[in-house]
Structure 1
């Protein structure tokens, strides 16, 4: 049974957070789907404050069979396995050779920097690049910037 949450009170009291509420709602729907399909397994690492890495275990897939698409605030990794010889007779087949699609929601200003496939692991490096206009800035009071206050804090 899946829990349904009502986000309408958030819409009434918060301005500009509707995208956040939609994101939470979509994430709760995706988590229910992800629990039923854990293929392929993956890790998400925080390398430092602004750098991240997603590592997917894609053993058996070649570079030609993998596609990485970054669009707006989404990252989609797709694996399409090419058909092998249909006459192969397996006594046991434990290696999954099925296609997959993994979707990740990424924050604003997070960009895909690189992707590398080595030893069956696909590593996707991401970096948060905050534009200069969005970085914190000190506002002068009466047209004067209080430099001495800044110097005292840094000491």
Structure 2
């Protein structure tokens, strides 16, 4: 496995295909023994949500996610790392985010994927606005303390 993986980071409005992303990472490879994926979906809040709108500043979001993905590639012996994050209006049941990590052994792939998702959930520069099924505005979604606590476990301090 390569000593240093260059992460693939994409921020896009279009949906993604998890199987295609795994295939891109692993096709023709014999050094990968584990692939871990996490797919985050837009959750329907008891029928109250019609869409979640994700806004971002493109250059900042891509740079920041690339920075944290590079940190993951430096912390764990990975053979591949892909992060795809969507923006725009996303309906309940649709994909929001995909993290794919590959390694010779499972633990590194699991740890790197968990690290990335904890970061994306708590610190990625996206602003989320709820659109309610009753046509009312659900407003901007606030960060949760539990997400910050999950991310804090990875601190090197």
* Larger Cα-atom Rg: 1
Query: Which has a greater percent of helix?
Result: 2
User: Fold-level match, TM-score > 0.5?
Assistant: no
